[in-house]
Amino acid sequence: MSPISRDKILSIEVELRHGKSIAEVAKIVGVLQTSVKRYQRKLNISTSVPGGRPAQINERLAHHIIYAFLNEEFMTTTEAERQLCDEGFAVKAPAIHTLLKASGFICTLESPPK
């Protein structure tokens, strides 16, 4: 098998850096997938796409929530959820709970009043 031309190597690099999969790059450039994998390793390019769900709480909203809890504007995550939803933010109590725990707050689960 003959070596891959410099143009094809550059094409492989460009396509990988644009987030294309190994199979897509191989088809576009006209080489085997194993060749694309080899150059991917040599060039140290990751093809993994960060997955998961988008965050409900952006950085600005996080600061707002933490500030509100520090100033005791909110006492519970459910109360925070209701008020934030009234203000137009689509955020749920479990997400607020996770944010507070990650920020160093100690969260306790209280049973509803009888």
Give the whole-angstrom CA distance, residue 103 versus residue 114: 31
Residue type, 29: V
- Among residues of the chain, what percentage have pLDDT more than 70? 91
CATH class of 6-43: mainly alpha
pTM above 0.75, yes or no: no
Which residue in the block uniquely carries the two structure tokens 């460009």?
14
Per-residue pLDDT, 52: 73
For the chain, give the mean pLDDT: 87
Residues 68-101 have pLDDT tens digits of: 999 989 889 999 999 999 998 889 999 999 999 9
